[in-house]
Amino acid sequence: MIVNVSRNANFTARFLSYTSPQRYGAELLMRVVISGVEGKDAVLAFYGYTWGVTTCYILLLAFVMICFSTGLFFINRRAK
């Protein structure tokens, strides 16, 4: 599970961290957990969670739609 990697990581690790839905779910969870904490923006920036709630929801929804569409495509293809 690749959620957050450093800037010094190789290309493959960085690519997987941006395409993994776990990264966006972890950011949303972190935002909920520290919602009432003073200085939460500094904590989120420290961990690299700077995408924001709306962007994370959109990217998670896009991931679900891509997986669903791909599965439906292959189910229909195999049924023919």
CB-CB contact of 74 with 57 (8 Å): no
pLDDT tens readout for residues 64-78? 999 999 999 999 999
Long-range contacts of 8-17 (CB under 8 A, 24+ apart): none
- Crossing angle of helices 53-79 and 21-33, in 10° steps, is 150
> Considering the domain boundaries, does residue 41 fall inside one?
yes
Number of independent structural domains in the chain = 1
> Considering the domain boundaries, does residue 5 fall inside one?
no
**At residue 6, does pLDDT exceed 60?**
yes
**At residue 25, does pLDDT exceed 70?**
yes
| pLDDT: which is higher, 63 or 47 | 63
What integer pLDDT is reported at residue 47 of this predicted model? 85
Domain hosting residue 45, numbered range: 11-79
> Considering the domain boundaries, does residue 3 fall inside one?
no
Q: pTM for this one?
A: 0.81
> Considering the domain boundaries, does residue 69 fall inside one?
yes
> Considering the domain boundaries, does residue 35 fall inside one?
yes
> Considering the domain boundaries, does residue 2 fall inside one?
no
